[in-house]
Amino acid sequence: METLWIILAILGAAALAGITIYNRLVALRQNREQSFADINVQLKQRFDLIPNLVETVKGYAGHEKEVFENITKARAGIQSASNISERIAAENTLSRSMSLLYAVAENYPNLKADSMFQKLMAELSDIENKLAAARRFFNNATAELNTAIEQFPAVLFAAALGFKKEEFFEIPEKDRETMDKAPDVKFGS
């Protein structure tokens, strides 16, 4: 009879450990999803600001058609993204396209002096700073989840419970230099 109690105690402890691990992984996954929702708020603000910025630039540099087409395609890619990985890739494409728009703007002093352009660039700079902070929080939440999945004893149960390592919001190496900082906003010429 004593052996039965020992076996039941071991099974009870294992079940309790399994429940605790599962609940922790669920909480970490929810934290990651919430942090991506915070990114989405900033991305939506940027997404909504871009058409105004493009129209302002078109007024001065209408012949830069390829840049505008790339931005339009990138925005369409964002709308068709169906999961976090696709959304991250689409956002990186849009950021590359926006870098080209900034380069075009540099060639037009009258555009840089335009008050609407300055206002839009200041708003965009603010959004990009908030986005960088949200991206850091998301990547931190992702790292915390991935670490918990790989730690013992969770590593024994995680896959069976439907948990897997998740992707970070990474910027491709070739784009890091231009995308890691908000666009420079210079008032006046």
Contacts of 153 (CB under 8 A, 6+ apart): 17, 21
Q: Would you kindly state where each structural domain of the chain is located, as residue ranges?
A: 2-179
Would you state the pLDDT for residue 59?
Answer: 84
Can you tell me the distance from the alpha carbon of 88 to that of 145, in angstroms, rounded to the nearest whole number? 18
- The DSSP output letter for 48 is H
Question: Which residue has tokens 């915390």?
Answer: 144
Give the pLDDT means over successive 10-residue stretches in the chain (189 positions). 91 91 96 94 91 86 83 89 88 88 85 88 92 94 96 89 91 61 52
Question: Which residue has tokens 């491709």?
Answer: 172
Can you tell me the distance from the alpha carbon of 94 to that of 100, in angstroms, rounded to the nearest whole number? 10
Residue 88: closest CA among 43, 45, 49: 43
Would you state the pLDDT for residue 189?
Answer: 46
51: number of CA atoms within 13 Å, CB side?
6
Identify the burial level of 16 via C-beta atoms within 10 angstroms of its C-beta, where 0-12 means exposed, 13-18 middle and 19 or more buried: exposed
Can you tell me the distance from the alpha carbon of 101 to that of 120, in angstroms, rounded to the nearest whole number? 13
Would you state the pLDDT for residue 186?
Answer: 53
User: Radius of gyration (Cα) for the chain, nearest Å?
Assistant: 23
| Candidates 1.20.1440.20, 2.30.42.10, 1.10.3720.10, 3.40.190.10; CATH matching 2-179 | 1.20.1440.20
User: What amino acid occupies position 123?
Assistant: E
- The DSSP output letter for 158 is T
Kind and range of the H or E run holding 1: none
Residue 73: alpha-carbon gap to chain centroid? 19
Question: Which residue has tokens 């605790």?
Answer: 20
Would you state the pLDDT for residue 176?
Answer: 59
Give this prediction's pTM.
0.77
